[in-house]
Amino acid sequence: MDRDFLIDLFADFGPVTIRRMFSGFGISADGTNFALALRAGLYFRADEVTIPQFEAEGSQPFSYQTRTKTVTVNSYWQLPARLFDDSEELSVWARAALAAAQRAALRKRPKARKPAKQAAKKAAAKKPVAKKKIAVKRKRKS
């Protein structure tokens, strides 16, 4: 799959950003990566909401082989081949993949910072670090 093919494929979905990633491309919209185009095919982001759709189509999760084992990535599933010919339905699947990626991003958000009082108490509890005096040599003007 090349960049031009992917741009055409996602035309009904809307504007996408396509960047080199691994041995293929990462596809994102609104700054969120939701698809991978690799030698083995096109994979959409999936979660507990969308995985049943992929399973019903007979799709498999992305996997790759290392020297010692096969690694399966359950967060990306192969797009059913029939959708390559139906850009309208492909855009529906792409929106669902984008939603799954956005849900995953929400779960990964950093926890809220500690209140200022607790941070101040922690700072006060730390031992002060002794400062070293640095001798500075000055040149005399003659």
Range of the domain at 21: 3-108
Rounded to whole angstroms, how far apart are CA atoms 25 and 19? 5
Rounded to whole angstroms, how far apart are CA atoms 136 and 131? 15
Rounded to whole angstroms, how far apart are CA atoms 119 and 90? 49
pTM tops 0.85, yes or no: no
Q: How many domains does the chain have?
A: 1
3-class secondary-structure state, position 94: helix
129 belongs to a structural domain:
no
29 belongs to a structural domain:
yes
Which range among 80-89, 110-119, 124-133 has the greatest average pLDDT? 80-89
Rounded to whole angstroms, how far apart are CA atoms 27 and 6? 9
Q: Tens digit of pLDDT for each residue in 69-108?
A: 999 999 999 999 999 999 899 999 999 999 999 999 888 7
CATH of the domain at 88: 3.30.1460.30
